[in-house]
């Protein structure tokens, strides 16, 4: 990472940008009062199978989470193209992404759900927020499923305001094959009834994501050779979603 770029980003007055880096401290602050906590560090490479905005790139990742009797928190941070410069044209530029996912229990199954996605580059800033409700079903150590639905708010380089709704799910399934431990994970988001000015000009010309709906998600298959090491492959998909 370019150290000068990192420092200059951190010193900017935009509170969202500062929170992007400070959020890494959250799991450590909360650990003493949580039922569980975890952090995973990864080295990754992404290859585009079609004409995507980001192209092929390597990235460093950190994912972390904590759980309490009253809810759960999950977060991750990616540093994309970590050896590149920040102020060069996309898709070969240095970029940062962050995800926060918080669920507060109403009862054992239903929760108040909040999530946000943040992308930062020299030419593009994206913040997608959703606030609503989720439901979690789980069979301990084997399977869990969490569908959700909420109001969608967008704050990016081109649009700021309420932007329809978001629904989707997260699921995880652990299994054994030939005496090896594997896990299958999926996250899926569907945006719908977007605000018209987000995807279309007044004369009907498509802009941005170009539709009133969009799909975004990933399917991941991991092999766990040990309790502390995992490796795997991920298929990332999107439609009418930057």
Mean pLDDT of the chain: 86
Weakest-pLDDT range from 32-41, 46-55, 64-73, 140-149: 46-55
One-letter-per-residue 3-state SS of the chain: CCHHHHHHHHHCCCHHHHHHHHHHHHHHHHHHHCCEEEEEEEEEEECCCCCCCCCCEEEEEEEEEEEECCEEEEEEEEEECCCCCCCCCCCCCCEEEEEEEEEEECCCCEEEEEEEEEEECCCCEEEEEEEEEEECEEECCCEEEEEEEEEEEEECCCCEEEEEEEEEEEEEEEEEECCEEEEEEEEEEEEECCCHHHHECCCCCECCCCCCCEEEEEEEEEEECCCCCCEEEEEEEEECCC
Query: Is the pLDDT confidence value at 12 over 70?
Result: no
pLDDT at 140: 81
pTM recorded for the entire structure: 0.82
Residue boundaries of the structural domains of the chain? 1-101, 124-242
Q: Which residue has the higher pLDDT, 6 or 136?
A: 136
| 164-216 residue pLDDT tens | 999 999 999 999 999 999 999 999 999 999 999 999 998 889 988 889 999 99
pLDDT-derived band at 11, boundaries 50, 70, 90: very low
pLDDT at 34: 64
């Amino acid at each position: 990472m370019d150290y000068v770029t990192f420092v200059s980003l951190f010193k900017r007055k935009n509170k969202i940008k500062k929170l992007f880096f400070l959020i890494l401290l959250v799991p450590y602050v909360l650990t003493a009062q949580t039922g569980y906590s975890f952090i995973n560090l990864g080295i990754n490479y992404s290859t585009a199978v079609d004409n995507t905005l980001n192209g092929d790139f390597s990235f460093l990742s950190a994912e972390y989470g904590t759980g309490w009797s009253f809810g759960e928190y999950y977060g991750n941070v990616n540093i994309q193209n970590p050896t590149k410069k920040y102020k060069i044209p996309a898709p070969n530029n240095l970029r940062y992404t962050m995800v926060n996912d918080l669920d507060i229990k109403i009862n054992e199954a239903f929760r108040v759900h909040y999530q946000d996605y943040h992308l930062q580059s020299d030419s593009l800033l994206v913040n997608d927020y959703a606030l609503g409700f989720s439901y979690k079903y789980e069979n301990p150590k084997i399977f869990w499923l969490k569908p959700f639905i909420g109001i969608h708010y967008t704050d990016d380089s081109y649009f700021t305001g309420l932007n329809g709704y978001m629904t989707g799910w997260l699921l995880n399934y652990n299994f054994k094959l030939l005496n090896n431990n594997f896990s299958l994970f999926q996250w899926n988001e569907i945006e719908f009834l977007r605000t018209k000015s987000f995807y279309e000009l007044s004369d009907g010309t498509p802009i941005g994501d170009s539709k009133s709906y969009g799909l975004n998600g990933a399917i991941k298959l991991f092999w766990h050779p040990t309790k502390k090491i995992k490796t795997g492959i991920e298929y990332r998909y999107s439609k009418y979603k930057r």
